[in-house]
Amino acid sequence: MSYDEAQGYVVLSTLAQPLLAALIILFIPATRKMAIRYVSLFFATLMLGLSVYIFTAYQIGGDSIQMEISWAWVENTAFLGPRGISLHLGIDGIAALMVLLTGIVAFAATLVSWKLDYRPKDFFILFWVLVAGVYGTFFALDLFFWFFFYELAVVPLYLLIGVWGSTRKEYGAMKLTLMLVGGSVLIWIGIFAIFNAAGLHTFDLQQLWAAGADGTIDRNTQKIFFPFFVIGCGVLAALWPFHTWSPDGHMAAPTAVSMVHAGVLMKLGAFGIIRLGIQLLPEGAEFWMPGLMVLGTIGAVYGAAAALTQRDFKLISGYSSVSHMGYVLMGLATMNSIGITGAVLQMFSHGVMTALVFLMIGALYDQAHTRDLRDFGGIAKVMPWWVVCYTIAGLANVGLPGLSGFTAEFHIFVGTFETYPLFGGLAIFAAALAAGYMLRMFSVVFFGPFNPRWKDRLHDITPLEGVAASALIASMVVMGVWWAPFTDRVSHTVTQLVGVTG
């Protein structure tokens, strides 16, 4: 087996780990809760290691797709030609960063779920299936499997929120599922339309990308079906006006699910816009991107403005996510390399930052059983480390230099200013609002007079939560101070995309 082939098996085994974890937990009796937790932690650590390996082993300046592995599944039958549907996995620079994100967030979420006591067996089975779906989507280079993994990631969400959630969980879960399924239907239609239009009798993404770039998929088809993919994936990426599931869904979801959902799942949507929009339909992208810029900007400003007056921690973070995902969409819509690089960096940055925020909210809610800002005050006195961690997340959110948020937003602003100066100005306005909603929360919750209601009732974060938070904070600081490993990998891929300027 050659070195390159062996790398492919690393990718395959990374995808297999969460499935293996789910399978093993399936055979552990539900009463053996500690065993379930240790198995989960073991696999989470393993996946973190594999993800870091994949990220670091990615060769900057190497092939556009690396660590490839391909197993044909169905070929030369009926309407399918050679390599009709194959389990074709591999990574590019964008996927490499997303895989790292998944590893870190899944690891942190596992640690946080340690204290989950209600049916942990079912929880972890669903959780690992979801994680497998996420990894699969980032790895898949076959349109059929891409969609399969995408759905695999989305479906367990309904149960995870509906069963383990809190505030209005049935409503939140149902709303989220309906909207996401609606999006999936659009993607599904789009996939078959493009499969037909390309006429290659294959679902292989690399062949389809080539067909999109050289005009085999004709211009009009591209223009017609681009919105199917962008809206379909956009629902998951909280594209305005399809974002309304996001605040309710986040409010209802349990801590670990919020972390994975906001941290990683929402990025699947943006990732889908890159894979199925920009890469598959470059001419459609060129035509529609100004529209996406408008929607992204509205989302960025709208989310930030809506977060300003919320009273529930999770609603603030939910709307803040809408705003930050708006930045991601703006970055993608610039269609220049620096803007798209920024969008991908923002996907990572928002992922770790928002996971940390939800971790902290969960740590407080588990003790206080309320998330209303006005119930608190002076928390810094009793939960100093909690406040420090939350503050760091908040400052990354605001885009303070030295943390990952600035790295990403700076790229997006530069990219936007190059093509759409007016929208760049609006994006900066949204950044001012971000300072408003974050600091308002700080001053109400962390500072001010201590609310005596919580005397002796609140305790600082546990060591496990501390470990999880440290992993997330470390990623934010590294990306904020040492940009090169991140920007190099992402821009290596982005500059090769068809239709992307400078």
Classify the C-alpha dihedral 424-425-428-433 as positive or negative.
negative
Span of 41-49, 269-277, 298-306, 361-369 interacting with other proteins by CB under 8 A: 298-306
Q: Please, what is the minimum distance in Å from the beta carbon of residue 142 to other proteins?
A: 11
Tokens linked to 63: 């092939």
Shortest distance in whole angstroms from residue 269 CB to other proteins: 17
Report the SS3 class of residue 30. Answer: coil
Of the candidate spans 35-43, 289-297, 323-331, 443-451, the one that interacts with other proteins by CB under 8 A turns out to be 443-451
The backbone torsions φ and ψ at residue 336, rounded to the nearest 5 degrees and listed phi first, read -115, 160
By the rule CB under 8 A, 426 interacts with other proteins: no
In the complex with other proteins, the residue whose CB is nearer, 290 or 425, is 425
Q: Which of residues 308-327 bind other proteins (CB under 8 A)?
A: 308-309
Contact call for residue 74 and other proteins (CB under 8 A) = yes
* Cβ 398 to other proteins shortest distance, Å: 8
* Nearest in space to 252 (alpha carbons), one of 149, 353, 177: 177
Kindly state whether residue 424 participates in binding other proteins, applying the rule CB under 8 A: yes
Query: Which strand (E) or helix (H) includes residue 326?
Result: helix 313-334
- Cβ proximity to other proteins: between 193 and 373 the closer is 373
How far is residue 238's CA from residue 368's CA, in Å, rounded to a whole number?
Answer: 29
Interacting residue with other proteins among 53, 189, 447, 477 (CB under 8 A): 447
Is residue 99 within 8 Å of residue 346, measured between CB atoms?
no
Report in angstroms how near the CB of residue 499 gets to other proteins at its nearest.
16
Taking alpha carbons only, the member of 177, 190, 178, 179 closest to residue 147 is: 190
Applying CB under 8 A, which part among 21-29, 60-68, 196-204, 251-259 lies near other proteins? 21-29
Residues 179-238 that bind other proteins (CB under 8 A): 179, 182
Least distance in angstroms from the C-beta of 217 to other proteins: 27
The verdict on 293 binding other proteins (CB under 8 A) reads no
Q: Counting contacts by CB under 8 A, is residue 302 touching other proteins?
A: yes
Position 449 contacts other proteins (CB under 8 A): yes
Stretch touching other proteins by CB under 8 A, among 32-40, 213-221, 300-308, 347-355 = 300-308
Among 17, 207, 279, 487, binds other proteins (CB under 8 A): 487
From the CB of 256, what's the least distance to other proteins, in Å?
16
- C-alpha span between 124 and 411 (Å, rounded): 37
User: What span, in angstroms and rounded, lies between the C-alpha atoms of 351 and 123?
Assistant: 22
User: Is 484 one of the binding residues for other proteins (CB under 8 A)?
Assistant: yes
List the beta bridge partners of residue 142: 204
Give, as ranges, the residues between 367 and 406 that touch other proteins (CB under 8 A): 378, 380-381, 395, 398, 400-402, 406
Asked if 349 touches other proteins (CB under 8 A), the answer is no
Residue spans of alpha helices (H) in 29-91: 33-57
Instruction: Return the DSSP state at 433.
Output: H
Which is nearer to other proteins, 38 or 71 (by Cβ)? 71
Residue 85, SS3? strand
From CA 179, how far away is CA 244, in angstroms rounded? 9
200 C-beta neighbours (distance < 10 Å), count: 18
Query: Which range touches other proteins (CB under 8 A), out of 88-96, 155-163, 224-232, 282-290?
Result: 155-163
Residues facing residue 69 across a β-bridge: 89
Q: Which amino acid is at 20?
A: L
DSSP, residue by residue, 254-273: -HHHHHHIIIIIHHHHHHHI
Distance CA 163, CA 165 (A): 6
Specify the stretch interacting with other proteins by CB under 8 A; choose among 49-57, 95-103, 289-297, 412-420: 412-420
Site for other proteins in 325-344 (CB under 8 A): 337-338, 341
The yes or no reply on residue 429 touching other proteins (CB under 8 A) is yes
* # chain residues binding other proteins, by CB under 8 A: 76
Which of the ranges 346-354, 366-374, 463-471, 487-495 carries the binding residues for other proteins, by CB under 8 A?
487-495
Residue 69: helix, strand or coil by DSSP? strand
Q: Which stretch binds other proteins (CB under 8 A): 66-74, 93-101, 183-191, 289-297?
A: 66-74
Q: Confirm if 129 and 19 have CB atoms less than 8 A apart.
A: yes
Phi, psi of 74 (to 5 degrees): -125, 125
Of 255-284, which residues contact other proteins (CB under 8 A)?
A: none
Asked if residue 241 has a cis previous peptide bond (ω within 30° of 0), the answer is yes
- Binding region for other proteins (CB under 8 A) out of 49-57, 93-101, 198-206, 438-446: 438-446
x/- track of binding to other proteins for residues 75-114 (CB under 8 A): ------------x---------------------------
- Exposure of 298 by Cβ count < 10 A (0-12 exposed, 13-18 middle, 19+ buried)? middle
- Residue in 105, 126, 268, 461 binding other proteins, rule: CB under 8 A: 126
* 447: its two tokens: 């500072």
Does position 460 bind other proteins by CB under 8 A?
Answer: no
